[in-house]
Amino acid sequence: EVQLVESGGGLVQPGGSLRLSCTASGFSFNTYSMKWVRQAPGKGLEWVSYISSASETFYYADSVKGRFTISRDNAKNSLYLQMNSLRDEDTAVYYCATDGRASTFDYWGQGTLVTVSS
Amino acid sequence: SYVLTQTPSVSVAPGKTARIPCGGDNIGRKSVHWYQQKPGQAPVLVIYSDSDRPSGIPERFSGSNSGNTATLTISRVEAGDEADYYCQVWDSSSDHYVFGTGTKVTVL
């Protein structure tokens, strides 16, 4: 069974940093590209970032480019999102998801809440 | 950047058919995927590549895509179908994944 478990969320002040983790199990993590998606309270889904299986290709949403960095450790079956210069508008539940063959988001974690507030 | 527009809400009686549109410029040339999200839960893929269903998704869910509109159709609607639905595409011109604005389906 595919499992994705996010962690690392919490309360942080504007301008601060946070590192999210996503631990994967139940599939060959090192063969899958991965993505982060976020959802602000009461709002819709927003794609954040993408990383290929061997960390060769990276994509970022315009809203986070230059502030967020996606990375992975295939030996640890883990995906990360380093978030710097956080803003109020980064407040959201952050989900990690597997990338499907058709550019879909096939499997999702349960999400971790990031709150940016003074 | 590419924009996907969805009707904010759709109401449907049990047993009837719900049609959820997703508008985008020449969206018919793209591959469209659909997600169902119930309150407090992560999204679930219900339709991929315009009209294919992942394993475990009921046949009541179907999709189509042509011109400037893609449509998710839910036949014989059940109370358990009440959820938010999002369309999604890959925009190769910007290397961005794009989600629609979302449609809340209410079962009367």
pLDDT digits (tens, 9 = 90+) for B11-58: 999 999 999 999 999 999 999 999 999 999 999 999 999 999 999 999
| Nearest to B45, CA basis, from B3, B86, B100, B97 | B86
CB of B55 within 8 Å of a chain A CB? The answer is no
Q: How does DSSP assign B19-51, residue by residue? A: EEEEE-TTGGGS--EEEEE-TTS--EEEEBTTT
Q: Residue A13 has what pLDDT?
A: 97
Q: Residue A101 has what pLDDT?
A: 82
User: CB count, 10 Å around CB of B104?
Assistant: 16
CB–CB of A104 and B86 under 8 A? no
CB of B101 within 8 Å of a chain A CB? The answer is yes
**Contact (Cβ atoms closer than 8 angstroms) between residue A110 and residue A22:** no
Which chain A residue has the Cα nearest residue B92? A103
Residues A84-106 have a mean pLDDT of: 96
CB of A3 within 8 Å of a chain B CB? The answer is no
Residue A58 C-alpha, separation from nearest chain B C-alpha, in angstroms? 10
Burial B48-82 (b: 16+ CB within 10 A, else e): bebbebeeebeeebbbebeeeebbbebeebeeebb
Q: How far apart are CA B91 and CA B88, in angstroms?
A: 10
Instruction: Provide the 3-class DSSP secondary structure of residue B78.
Output: coil
Percent of chain A clearing pLDDT 70 (strictly above): 100
Task: Give B-chain residues touching A92 at CB under 8 angstroms.
Answer: none
Maximum pairwise Cα distance, chain A: 41
Does the structure show a pLDDT above 90 at A6?
Answer: yes
**Contact (Cβ atoms closer than 8 angstroms) between residue B20 and residue B103:** yes
Best B36, B97, B103 residue to mutate vs chain A (most A CBs within 10 Å): B97
Does the structure show a pLDDT above 90 at B6?
Answer: yes
Any idea what DSSP says for residue A53? T
Q: Residue B43 has what pLDDT?
A: 97
Q: Residue A58 has what pLDDT?
A: 97
Q: Rounded mean pLDDT of chain A? A: 97
Q: How far apart are CA A47 and CA A36, in angstroms?
A: 6
Q: Residue A8 has what pLDDT?
A: 97
Q: Residue B28 has what pLDDT?
A: 97
Q: In this predicted model, what pLDDT tens digit does every residue of B48-86 receive, in sequence order?
A: 999 999 999 999 999 999 999 999 999 999 999 999 999
